[in-house]
């Protein structure tokens, strides 16, 4: 079973940057559609960005132009570069994998999840 481990969260002031990373534990990684999700206290989990095995990306509107998702299939890694962070970006961030190509950025399509990494942005 695919296992995902995130790292790179932390605390930063508004306007700052963070880079999240996710490592997959086994081969076949490149066949999955990968995504980053986040969940703030009291809110539903939302899809932030996704990337297909051919490199096609998509983003939720609130992060377009600020976040960049990327992957290295040789290293089984997925990254999320987050720039110009805002207090509303504060959340637990999760790496997730789907076997459905171009899966909608909705939790129900992603059966594999990491444990999450906390991002806190102060004003």
Q: 9-47, pLDDT tens digit by residue?
A: 999 999 999 999 999 886 555 668 999 999 999 999 999
65-101 per-position pLDDT tens digit: 999 999 998 888 999 999 999 999 999 999 999 988 8
What would the DSSP string read from start to end of 41-81? TTS--EEEEEE-TT--EEE-GGGTTTEEEEEETTTTEEEEE
Calpha distance 73→57 (Å, rounded): 15
């Amino acid at each position: 079973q695919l296992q995902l481990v995130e790292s790179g969260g932390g605390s930063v002031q508004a306007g700052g940057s963070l880079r999240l990373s996710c490592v997959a534990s086994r081969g076949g990684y490149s066949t999955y559609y990968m995504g980053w999700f986040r969940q703030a206290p009291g809110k539903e989990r939302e899809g932030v960005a996704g990337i297909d095995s051919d490199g096609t990306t998509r983003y939720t509107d609130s992060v377009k132009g600020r976040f960049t998702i990327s992957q290295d299939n040789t290293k089984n890694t997925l990254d999320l570069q987050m720039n110009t962070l805002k207090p509303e970006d504060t959340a637990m961030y999760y790496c997730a994998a789907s076997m459905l190509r171009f899966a909608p950025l909705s939790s129900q399509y992603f059966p594999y999840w990491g444990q999450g990494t906390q991002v806190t942005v102060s004003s």
